[in-house]
Amino acid sequence: MTPLISPKSVALVGASPKQASVGYVIFENLANRFRGKAYFVNPKYDVVEAWGKQFKFYKSISEIPDAIDVVIIAVPAQVVPQVLEEAGKKGAKAAIIISSGFAEVGNKELEDELRALGKMYGIRLLGPNCLGVYNAFDGFDTVFLPAERAGRPPAGPLALISQSGAVAASIMDWAARRGIGLSIMVNYGNKADVGDVELLRYFEKDDRIKVITIYIEGFKYPGEAKRFLDAAREVAKKKPIIAYKAGRGAAAQRAVKSHTAALAGSYEMYRGLFRQAGIIEAANLRDMFDMAKALATQPLPRGNRVLVLTDSGGMGIQAVDALEALGLEVPEIPESIRRDLRRELLPFSALGNPVDVTGSATDQHYKVVLEALLPTAFFDMALVVTLMQVPGLTQNLAEYIIDAKRFRKPIAVVNFGGSEVVQSFTKTLEDAEIPTYSTPDRAAKALWALYEYAKIRGVVRP
């Protein structure tokens, strides 16, 4: 799988100097960002001048003088078998077939031919009908959507496996605009060969990846669900897996079949499969990355008891509602600790749980509560609401929250608003790997995911 996802040498068949074409965008990606050796194949050209440089174009793969790890194929569907056979004779280890026009439009025989050729020559196939691979670690990028329209996220602890190319590109763009470290994306399209199972196994072994996210529409082959279950169950013992299953209702299942030639199957079957495998299920894409952010940065809790600290009574109530709806506990603070807190906080502060330091709060009030409660055995996690519109709060509060990481308990912060103060505060926390959310329900779901994974890993306190 390494030559497919992190190759040293690449050949792009269908490279083109014609702007806005698929072959042009991938040509640009490889020419300007790939850290390995890239070769470009198109019999129409000898030399192409672009970006202030000259690039040699080869007539065919066989003309390339060096060994090739992976061949990227972006030519009409009927030509793909010929190109794949040439790649096999060249000794390529993998092929990414961008081209569409196979089983997703009823042309199953042509897709079967690709699969047979892959087996004959020992080539691992990704696709067809896919975006392929984005790897921020080494600049390998076969996504044929221009970077100005579909942003490329920075390197970080997350990986994405996606059955849909458009969804994958949208996620990449969304992550890029928010600075979320989505290092590797793989879209497998029709899944003629490589699919979820192989990719899970690959990411299991990549120590740079801390959380694996999956967008799945449906399995394609008999027995695939069992293979997926076996692989995911093993991988989840080492790394969190978060999945979002699309195609839950009857009409959506019909759409799935026409999209990637997959069998959507019963949604209840997938839910049961995820539970058996130790996969955390997301309700939507935003949910998936909210949870992934926490799982990638926070320690696992020893239990389900949450401290809620807020400067807004209304936000505190929303947080308690959300936490309890998810089965997390919001226990009262013991009276002995309340007595100590009364000496340090404002006389009108609420000291039940949530602890409401009110709109008259200062940074120091938050620090007092965190240092008094988070180290105790009464709480396993903290949900901290910091509405920076309160005049007594400054950027120092971010440092106090970051300092609370020393207690080795998960923290999720709610910071709502759009001012420069709010944005700067959020950035400081996120840069220090404190996950920050705009609403209490999102922060609560992130803490829930940490607790669920703690149960999967068997670290929850009896």
Burial of 385 (0-12, 13-18, 19+ CB in 10 A): buried
Per-residue model confidence (pLDDT) at position 221: 80
The backbone torsions φ and ψ at residue 72, rounded to the nearest 5 degrees and listed phi first, read -100, 125
Q: Does 252 score more than 50 pLDDT?
A: no
CA distance 428 to 425: 5
CA distance 73 to 81: 10
CA dihedral 148, 153, 159, 160 (to 10 degrees): -30
Per-residue model confidence (pLDDT) at position 263: 52
CA 103 to chain centroid: 27
Residue 215: closest CA among 275, 151, 119, 285:
285
Q: What value does the CA radius of gyration of the chain take, rounded to a whole number of Å?
A: 25
Residue 429: closest CA among 277, 275, 298, 273:
298
Residue 170, CB half-sphere, CA atoms under 13 Å: how many? 9
How large is the average pLDDT for residues 340-349? 96
Per-residue model confidence (pLDDT) at position 133: 98
How large is the average pLDDT for residues 106-119? 97
Q: Does 247 score more than 90 pLDDT?
A: no
Helix (H, G, I), strand (E, B), or coil: what is residue 417?
coil
Could you report the per-residue pLDDT of 185-239, keeping only the tens digit for each? 999 999 999 999 999 999 999 999 999 999 999 888 889 999 999 999 999 999 9
CA distance 159 to 134: 10
Per-residue model confidence (pLDDT) at position 293: 96
CA distance 343 to 246: 53
CA distance 73 to 79: 10
Per-residue model confidence (pLDDT) at position 254: 54
CA 399 to chain centroid: 27
The residue type of 393 is: L
Evaluate whether 232 touches 200 at the Cβ level (below 8 Å).
Answer: yes
How large is the average pLDDT for residues 95-99? 98
* Beta strand segments in 180-326, E: 182-187, 211-216, 241-245, 280-281, 306-310
How large is the average pLDDT for residues 9-18? 98
Q: What DSSP line would sit under 171-188, residue for residue?
A: HHHHHHHTT--EEEEEE-
Could you report the per-residue pLDDT of 430-457, keeping only the tens digit for each? 999 999 999 999 999 999 999 999 999 9
Alpha-carbon dihedral sign for residues 237, 175, 401, 446: negative
CA distance 74 to 160: 22
Per-residue model confidence (pLDDT) at position 250: 57
Per-residue model confidence (pLDDT) at position 255: 53
* Beta strand segments in 84-143, E: 94-97, 124-126, 132-135, 140-141
CA distance 344 to 353: 17
Cβ-based neighbours of 269, under 8 Å, separated by 6 or more: 225
Distances (CA, A) of 321 to 112, 294, 445: 52, 20, 12
Please count the other Cβ atoms lying within 10 Å of the Cβ belonging to residue 420. Answer: 7
* Domains of the chain, start order: 2-295 (3.40.50.261), 299-457 (3.40.50.261)
Beta strands 182-187 and 280-281 are unpaired
Helix (H, G, I), strand (E, B), or coil: what is residue 28?
helix
418 pLDDT tier (thresholds 50, 70, 90): confident
Per-residue model confidence (pLDDT) at position 386: 97
CA distance 54 to 304: 60
pLDDT over 90 percentage in the chain: 92
Query: What is the average pLDDT score of the chain?
Result: 95
Per-residue model confidence (pLDDT) at position 453: 98
Q: Does 251 score more than 70 pLDDT?
A: no
Could you report the per-residue pLDDT of 278-336, keeping only the tens digit for each? 999 999 999 999 999 999 999 999 999 999 999 999 999 999 999 999 999 999 999 99
CA distance 230 to 83: 34
